[in-house]
Amino acid sequence: MISRRIFAALVSGVALVPGLALAQDAPAPFDNPGDVNIALVRYLSTGDFFQAYLSGVEKQAAALGVNLQVFDSRQDAALQADMVDQAIALGVDGIIIQHGLTESMKEAAQRAVDAGIKVVAFDVNVENAAIPQVEQSDAALAQLALDQAIADNGAEWVAGFVHVAGIAPLDRRAAVWEEVKAANPGINEVAMFGTLDNPIANSVANQARSVLSANPNIQVMFAPYDEFAKGVKIAVDEAGMSGQVSIYSADISTADIQLMREEGSAWKATAATNPAVVGEVSVRSLALLLAGENPGASVIVPPTLITQAMLNELDIKNMEELGAKLPAFAHADVAMAPWMTLPPR
């Protein structure tokens, strides 16, 4: 408890400096944010995306001056439901449910709502009208990347597609690919492959090498997940085909930026939502609910298109510079209210 109080003191100390005047205007309970406790209940936590998401949640919580407690179920669906009950028992004011399974989370989320706790869900549908859904739009991600592919290559090319069916965000991205293919009969998909074997980039590289030697006429690889794109790029480089193949993907990380900027890189563009921004939006949506405002049933964080040319022109080397130099990537203007303090940039 002491540590939490110290944390709260530190946080409000930081928040006081820029936000003193604003904080007084904030509606209850944010007129006294040190008394607001929120919980983040996670299903997925390993990997860069989830680390960045967490940092966004932490920063926005700190900026608002509320206390944050993180529960991490490490892909244990039953444990995640128990953790929601734990958070209810602790008497938190709000809960963010991050990923999980509809079946296991639906009832736990309802129990939290019944206990008078405000809940938002990120990337998991808990089938509850009282719970806003924060989403990154997978369809918009895929559409942005494919629009760029068509802008770069015209509407007639031989394509390879990397996909693993049964993973919800990948399925939503694949649905857009099917639509784009149907709308552009000049796109000829000759190979579809993909695997989630760990390390994914290495396994996909092995597959992509086989695909490229079987189909040396491939011009465009659509790899709508950055681990896939990394694997394809390794294979394209190994096959010495980087002059001929263009890779379009979704998501981004510092490592991806480096790969896209390599001399003669085949990785031409990616569409991405900043996971840290998604984390911030999750907290802000919850804050709106707590203040009695309505963020809407679904809060969509819009993606940004990032091309190789952009990265080179702006000389962007990592995620932080990307945020600094591409403002659209650093902040999403959703779930906002005038009284809210944003994290410092």
Site for another protein contains 259 (CB under 8 A):
yes
> x/- contact string, 306-335, with another protein (CB under 8 A)?
-----------xxxx---------------
- The least CB distance from residue 339 to another protein, in Å, is 28
Stretch in the footprint of another protein (CB under 8 A) among 73-81, 129-137, 235-243, 331-339 = 235-243
Cβ distance to another protein smaller for residue 23 or 330: 330
Site for another protein contains 111 (CB under 8 A):
no
Cα–Cα distance, 131 to 289 (Å, whole number): 9
- The least CB distance from residue 237 to another protein, in Å, is 8
The span from the first CA to the last CA of the chain, in angstroms, equals 30
Q: What is the dihedral of CA 38, 345, 291, 296, to 10 degrees?
A: -100
Among 16, 214, 297, 309, binds another protein (CB under 8 A): 214
Site for another protein contains 198 (CB under 8 A):
yes
Cβ distance to another protein smaller for residue 108 or 266: 266
Beta strands in 24-174 (DSSP E): 37-42, 67-72, 94-98, 118-122, 133-136, 157-162
Indicate the pairing of strand 267-272 with strand 304-307.
Answer: antiparallel
The CB density around residue 287, as the number of other CB atoms within 10 Å, is: 29
Cα 185 from chain centroid (whole Å): 31
Stretch in the footprint of another protein (CB under 8 A) among 9-17, 90-98, 177-185, 210-218 = 210-218
Among 206, 310, 324, 325, binds another protein (CB under 8 A): 206
Question: In 241-299, which residue ranges form alpha helices assigned H by DSSP?
Answer: 254-261, 275-290
Residue 22: how many CA atoms within 13 Å on its side-chain side?
Answer: 16
User: Which of 286, 253, 290 lies closest to 272, judged by CA?
Assistant: 253
Q: What is the amino acid identity at position 94?
A: G
Among 41, 159, 205, 289, binds another protein (CB under 8 A): 205
Site for another protein contains 177 (CB under 8 A):
no
Binding residue count for another protein, defined by CB under 8 A: 45
Binding site for another protein (CB under 8 A): 45-48, 51, 164-165, 191-203, 205-207, 209-211, 213-214, 216, 230, 234, 237-240, 253-255, 257-259, 317-320
